[in-house]
Structure 1
Amino acid sequence: MSLRKMKAMVSKLFNINVSVGQCWNAQRFALCEIKGVLKDHYSKLWDYGAGIKRANPGSHVEVYMQPQNNSIVVFERFYVSFKGVVDGWLDGCRKVIRIDGCFLKGICKGELLSAVGRDGNNNIYPIAWAVVNVENKNTWKWFLDNLMEDIDEAGNGYNGGYERKMAEVEHRLCARHILANFHKNFKDECYIKPFWWAVKATIIPKFELAMEEIKSFDVGAYDYLIKRDPNCWSRAFFKVGMNKADIG
């Protein structure tokens, strides 16, 4: 129920005018009474992980806590992949993986890392996810090591070193993210169409033609995009066939 609907219902049932802020406080109090304080849920992660393994045999759960000097442990990272979901990706999905992270902006801050694929209907197919206290090279390495262990099709066992394993796959970058960052420095609308021409070009001459148009507007804009490695964001340079995982 939305806060405004709650406000209207209280006014109708009890003939009392309350503010939206009062409704929000009442809703938060009620949720805390029913479900407990959100911070307290982190102390139940071990039970949650055990419940996942019990209900979904073969699932992969990793829980890390950081001990403090005062004998209190603080949440650090949590990884989950369900066995049935991973098997579904291996058996029925294209070997394309998209990884990304987003900020958690609620009471408990942190970062949500995720790996998703595409199913046979070209819909998003979640593979694995993790919550970490901070996004950096170490947490991404930890996440990718766990992911590579889960999707090890050969079944030979994966013993870390995702950099070596990732060298075997074709990497791609999100063109929309590149354009968003590009637009912070080069705000003119004249760049947008030639950029997408370069992204969607199927042969190198067409890519070069689009990039020359961008260069005619501003050499700095051209240099910026070239430094982003077109091999990872222009279709003209992508390999033919999708027989290997594509991390992008």
Structure 2
Amino acid sequence: MAGRSRQAALEEIQGAYLEQYKRIADYCSELLRANPGSSVTLKVQRSPDFEVEDQQQRLNNYCIFQRVYVCLAACKKSFLQCRKFLGLDVCFLKTPQGGQLLTAVGWDPNDQMLPIAYAVVEAETKDTWKWFLRLLIDDFGVDIIGKTTFMSDQQKGLLPAFDEVIPGVDHRFCVRHLYSNFRKKFSGLHLKQLMWRSAKATHWKEWEKEMQIIRTINVDAHRHLNAIPPRFWSRSRFNFHPKCDTIVNNMCESFNGAIVESREKPIVTILEDIRDETREERQISPNQPLQHPSPTQPNLGPGPHHPQLGPRQSPPEARHSNHHHQRRWVQPAPAKQPGLSPSATNSHFMFLQES
């Protein structure tokens, strides 16, 4: 009896997961209707019978979901006003159908995480990363993406994808993940401190000094670190154009932690939770200053002094103005568009299929 009840419960749960895959195209169309200017790409694999002109009832017609990519219009506008720095990461989806989530997260002027784009794919491979990077180029242009600095955790297939799609692009490795691999072979607090000092060194002579100390302690540890080009992990070789000297990919890790519960939900619910999380990350507290679209804006702290409200609050009119500005920035007013079928193809919504 308990086994039958468990099986019935599993069928009911998995049925909900499968049912949402049937509505994924409708969700993409609705996402574009409510967020004009956004980019949504849905890729499916169709049965061979779709190529038959004379469709009959006996033909086996089906679509298999493969990938979906989303870049909201508000995120596009925000990234164009921020430092050209993107963190890339991937995480597993804990659903019966599996899959992985690719994310691109930026830094806003107040050093807060700014989700730019996300995609649900079948697996983390060189092909999926190439697909994701090409869509980023379609959204922002090759000039902007080509001058952007990327940070990653050495994901599988990402480096070959960079070489093919954006050759020569500036790229960094997360030092925390580099040290995670380093300590498996070379443990000890002293080596840990020396590695982090090498990564934080801002001049090449300082980097060489720390590396020589590592060499005197452990030649193999020095050889291991020296095999990784310092331009990937040391501030002494970083490009100054992005105006960002971070050596860890904490923004992507924070974003993945914020959606950890959503990764167990059905596909449409996952995408909607990520959209809500993206919108919430761009909300401004009434006590925060009005965001100015400048790539070098510092964190200004609380609003100006007000004789009645005190030094840590803004006047009522300022609170209303900030809130109204942020709502227009994050959630653009829906524009009335002509009818858009799930299989329509335009500059914003691409419905792809495997040949």
TM category (shorter chain) comes to 0.7 to 0.9
Report the 3-state secondary structure (helix = DSSP H, G, I; strand = E; otherwise coil) of the residue aligned with 1:37.
helix
Q: Give the equivalent residue in structure 2 for 1:88.
A: 78
Report the 3-state secondary structure (helix = DSSP H, G, I; strand = E; otherwise coil) of the residue aligned with 1:180.
helix
Q: Give the equivalent residue in structure 1 for 2:67.
A: 77
Residues 1:109 and 2:88 are matched in the alignment: no
Q: Give the equivalent residue in structure 1 for 2:257.
A: none
Does the CA contact (< 8 Å) of 1:59 and 1:83 recur in 2? yes
Q: Which moved more, 1:71-80 or 1:127-136?
A: 71-80
Residues 1:63 and 2:53 are matched in the alignment: no
Does the CA contact (< 8 Å) of 2:130 and 2:165 recur in 1? no
Could you report, residue by residue, the CA deviation over 1:65-88 in whole angstroms, capped at 9, with x for unpaired residues? Answer: 123576443221110001121111
How far residue 231 of structure 1 moved from its aligned partner, in angstroms, is 0.8
Report the 3-state secondary structure (helix = DSSP H, G, I; strand = E; otherwise coil) of the residue aligned with 1:149.
helix
How far residue 144 of structure 1 moved from its aligned partner, in angstroms, is 0.4
Equivalent residue for 1:46, pick from 11, 16, 25:
25
Task: Tell which has more relative contact order, 1 or 2 (C-alpha 8 A, sep 6+).
Answer: 2
Q: Give the equivalent residue in structure 1 for 2:122.
A: 133
Q: Give the equivalent residue in structure 1 for 2:227.
A: 227
CA distance in 1, matches of 2:196, 2:235: 11
Q: Which moved more, 1:127-136 or 1:184-193?
A: 184-193
CA distance in 2, matches of 1:162, 1:179: 23
Q: Which moved more, 1:45-54 or 1:145-154?
A: 145-154
CA distance in 1, matches of 2:47, 2:183: 43
Write out aligned runs for 1:149-188 (5 A): 149-152=138-141, 163=163, 166-167=166-167, 169-188=169-188
The 1:213/1:71 distance shift into structure 2, 3 A limit, reads farther
AA matched with 2:23 = K
Does the CA contact (< 8 Å) of 2:89 and 2:103 recur in 1? yes
Residues 1:217 and 2:207 are matched in the alignment: no
Report the 3-state secondary structure (helix = DSSP H, G, I; strand = E; otherwise coil) of the residue aligned with 1:172.
strand
Identity fraction in percent? 36
**Paired residues, number:** 213
AA matched with 1:146 = L
Report the 3-state secondary structure (helix = DSSP H, G, I; strand = E; otherwise coil) of the residue aligned with 2:44.
strand
The 1:199/1:66 distance shift into structure 2, 3 A limit, reads same
Could you report, residue by residue, the CA deviation over 1:82-104 in whole angstroms, capped at 9, with x for unpaired residues? Answer: 1121111112x111111111122
TM-score between both structures, scaled by the size of structure 1: 0.75
CA distance in 1, matches of 2:212, 2:143: 45
Does the CA contact (< 8 Å) of 2:105 and 2:113 recur in 1? yes
Could you report, residue by residue, the CA deviation over 1:40-76 in whole angstroms, capped at 9, with x for unpaired residues? Answer: 2122111111111111112111111123576443221
Structure with bigger helix share is 1
Q: Which moved more, 1:190-199 or 1:164-173?
A: 164-173
Residues 1:189 and 2:178 are matched in the alignment: no
How far residue 188 of structure 1 moved from its aligned partner, in angstroms, is 2.8
Equivalent residue for 1:98, pick from 81, 87, 111:
87
Does the CA contact (< 8 Å) of 1:110 and 1:133 recur in 2? yes
Report the 3-state secondary structure (helix = DSSP H, G, I; strand = E; otherwise coil) of the residue aligned with 1:117.
strand
CA distance in 2, matches of 1:166, 1:243: 21
Report the 3-state secondary structure (helix = DSSP H, G, I; strand = E; otherwise coil) of the residue aligned with 2:23.
helix
AA matched with 2:136 = L
CA distance in 2, matches of 1:110, 1:213: 44
CA distance in 1, matches of 2:126, 2:17: 28
How far residue 163 of structure 1 moved from its aligned partner, in angstroms, is 4.3
CA distance in 1, matches of 2:142, 2:84: 11
CA distance in 2, matches of 1:194, 1:224: 13
Q: Which moved more, 1:112-121 or 1:66-75?
A: 66-75
AA matched with 2:175 = A
The 1:168/1:178 distance shift into structure 2, 3 A limit, reads same
User: Runs (4+) of structure 1 moved beyond 6 Å?
Assistant: none
What is the Cα-based RMSD across aligned positions, in Å? 3.0
Does the CA contact (< 8 Å) of 1:200 and 1:234 recur in 2? yes
Structure 1: where are the runs of 5+ without partners?
A: 1-24, 156-160
Report the 3-state secondary structure (helix = DSSP H, G, I; strand = E; otherwise coil) of the residue aligned with 1:121.
coil
AA matched with 2:18 = K
CA distance in 1, matches of 2:213, 2:243: 34
AA matched with 2:80 = L
How far residue 218 of structure 1 moved from its aligned partner, in angstroms, is 2.2
How far residue 36 of structure 1 moved from its aligned partner, in angstroms, is 6.1
